[in-house]
Chains A and B, each alone.
Chain A
Amino acid sequence: MKHPLEFEKPILELQRKLDELRKHPHAGSLGLTLEDEVSRIERKLAETRREVFSNLTAWQRVQLARHPRRPYTLDYLRDTFTDFQELHGDRLFADDRAMVGGFARLQGQPVMVIGTQKGRDTKENILRNFGSAHPEGYRKALRLMRLADKFGLPIITLIDTAGAYPGVGAEERHIAEAIAVNLREMTLLEVPIIAVVIGEGGSGGALGIGVADRVLILENAYYSVISPEGCAAILWKDRAAAQRAAEALRITATDLLELGLVDEIVPEPLGGAHSDPTTMAETLKVYLLRHLHETEAIEPSERLRLRYEKFRRIGQVAEAPGVLGPAPTA
């Protein structure tokens, strides 16, 4: 196992023992037969793995969401979809490689897929800007979404970004405006939109392609208004308080489902998406197809009304005792 996380170490240790035993069949036998010993460790391994992965803390899930071997947008475009035809550029300034998009087929059905893309190594990470898009990424996304809307292709967005890029150029070319326009325009696109948080759902940079009829999230992904580290730095004045911030912000898939902020959790293989990317890609396909069929069955005007309502109802407020304002006019 490459890139083990701290909490994966007991699993790793058992795995190592098992490998050792298989390599040197006589070294470990203390009266037990080899088969007994192997199956004993195998059972223990499965048990430990189940135990570790069914009791993950918010912070551990954040680590899984950021795992360097976790499947990224282009991996799903290869394994969940077929016939990906990448389309480049925002027709204004540049082609942002942190945001990929283009035509693809989902079980034969043509769709438009757009997603943020991280790099697998240093070289690719420089190209992909570590998955943090500039304004051009959001404008490219909107261009492709409008193209899809014009020609009746459903839109699927895959979200995996620590956030929109905080840089001088990004500010000079108005990244906030680019995100804001996407939020407004995605509200009115007539084709179905399904958004999936596949890894990191980093704040406005994630939401910038996240206005949809259905918002799904992978089991170990997270979606947050601010990074746990950023929250810790502001509220605790200490980035090391990120674990506590991750709990307090309630950013895990189960938290978000419970709070009514996402529609469904897409289960990951035991050990996380990176432990079995093929199964993960297949599972995602099943979920996407179901939500696609469900949303396509809805009349377009009704779908837009439901999309509006979906975001309209989010928020919890109260009335201060003793204050009587005029009744809401809306």
Chain B
Amino acid sequence: MSTTPFVRKPLAGDAAEPAVTPVVSPSETTLIRKPKLGTGRTRKKDIPEGLWTKCPKCSTLIYDKELDENLKVCLKCGHHFPAGARERINSLVETCSFEEMDAGMISVDVLKFTGVASYASKLASYWKTTGLKDAVVTGIGTIGTFRVALGVMDFGFLGGSMGSVVGEKLTRLIEAATNKELPLVIISTSGGARMYEGMFSLMQMAKTSAALAYHAKARLPYISVLTHPTTAGVMASYASLGDLIIAEPGAMIGFAGPRVIKDTTQAELPAGFQTAEFLRDHGLIDDIVPRLELKERLVCFIEFLLHHRGQPSQR
């Protein structure tokens, strides 16, 4: 479902506590020299599989370690590759500060859904290949000086779809933020509600939005970060409800899929339709923030939003 040819690799520490931002010593990166572009196909064949990634936007070959260090942003053109939930958390929270919640919560095949493949077998294969239990990781961590309730979705797990687990983990996170009077940040990426759980999935939209109603009523800040892609049921619930809504450059964001819209309306879609930039120009998004600037911008926003509380929340 991903629109870029980037292959998600299992990362060291992917399944472990995401407390430490992985540090790669500069000496390591110089051991293998970057191949010059245009050295021909024969040269390319010598490159070991999985060490290099080609940018889908500018076609530059990027050394994977460099790409990881640069938070999966192309060093040449700034294209944002997909990033996993653990990587994102690592890049935002202070070392050893993240206390994960509900780490072992898993989905149930509540409808005994049997399609072309059964839901149970889908889940089993995703557990095995992604190292994730479901499409969101939640917990409380320190960003700058602020304790923040942080939820990060992962498109790699069943297209970031929202079923009972995503809804329940986020609702518990939001409730914890309300009870502990913490600011909330949710980084979304999702194809929408998870079909395999039928109406249970749809109702997670109401559940998470209801929890946000009480978080908002307590005048606590919520920043929604939209990443590529964020659509459908997730966009029609918590992803659209931030006090601030920010997006990564080039992210595809919308309610209905472009093909559905084209089929329904039989009309040409405008240039840049449903991109972050399009939605900023149409008034939905407060600002577009590159991934490498996200942490400092979040800290800055939270400072403004918590100003009335006097001290930064440090419990």
Contact = CB atoms under 8 A, between A and B. Distances in A.
Whether chains A and B associate is: yes
B37 interface: no
A311 B206 contact: yes
Given A185-B213, A204-B236, A316 B110 contact: yes
B216 interface: yes
The 10 closest A-B pairs by CB, nearest first: A323-B104, A166-B256, A315-B164, A325-B103, A183-B209, A330-B175, A180-B240, A176-B255, A176-B235, A187-B213
B106 A167 contact: no
Contacts of B257: 166
A1 interface: no
Nearest to B231: A176
A317 B201 contact: no
A166 B261 contact: yes
26 contacts: A166-B255, A166-B256, A168-B269, A170-B256, A176-B255, A177-B240, A180-B239, A183-B236, A184-B210, A203-B202, A204-B255, A207-B203, A207-B206, A225-B198, A226-B195, A235-B116, A245-B115, A261-B199, A261-B203, A311-B206, A315-B207, A316-B164, A317-B105, A320-B105, A320-B133, A330-B171
B177 to A, nearest CB: 9
Interface string A174-208: 11110111011101100000000000000110011
A329 B202 contact: no
A185 B206 CA distance: 10
Nearest to A174: B284
B273 interface: yes
B206 A183 contact: yes
Interface residues of A, number: 64
Interface in A70-93: none
Contact of B213 (A188, A316, A319, A328): A188
A248 B113 contact: yes
- In which size bucket is the chain B interface? 35 or more
B203 A314 contact: yes
Considering residues A166, A231, A235, A248, which has the most beta carbons from chain B within 10 angstroms of its beta carbon? A166
Nearest to B100: A325
B195 A329 contact: no
A49 interface: no
Contacts of B211: 312
Nearest to A319: B104
Interface string B164-188: 1101100110011001100000000
Interface string A304-330: 000110011011111110111110111
Contact of B265 (A167, A208, A250): A167
A171 B237 contact: no
A311 B195 contact: no
Contacts of B214: 187, 308
Contacts of B233: 203-204, 225
Contact of A183 (B113, B116, B205): B205
A35 interface: no
Interface string A201-228: 0011001101100000000000111100
Nearest to B230: A176
A180 B109 CA distance: 27
A236 interface: yes
A251 B100 CA distance: 35
Interface of B: 99-108, 110-111, 113-116, 133, 163-165, 167-168, 171-172, 175-176, 179-180, 193, 195, 197-207, 209-214, 216-217, 232-233, 235-241, 254-257, 260-261, 264-265, 267, 269-270, 273-274, 279, 282-284
B261 A167 contact: yes
Given A184-B212, A188-B217, A174 B240 contact: yes
A174 B282 contact: yes
A320 B274 CA distance: 37
Interface in A271-326: 307-308, 311-312, 314-320, 322-326
Given A183-B237, A330-B179, A177 B284 contact: yes
Given A225-B195, A317-B168, A311 B207 contact: yes
Given A171-B255, A172-B282, A329-B180, A312 B105 contact: no
B118 to A, nearest CB: 10
A249 interface: yes
Nearest to B261: A166
A30 interface: no
Contacts of A184: 209-210, 212-213, 216, 241
A42 B7 CA distance: 67
B105 A318 contact: yes
A314 B204 contact: yes
Contacts of B264: 165-167
B201 A175 contact: no
Nearest to B163: A315
B208 to A, nearest CB: 8
A32 interface: no
Given A187-B213, A235-B116, A249 B111 contact: yes
A27 interface: no
Contacts of A171: 254-256, 261, 273-274
B237 A180 contact: yes
A256 interface: yes
Contacts of A207: 202-203, 205-206
A223 B199 contact: yes
A204 B202 contact: yes
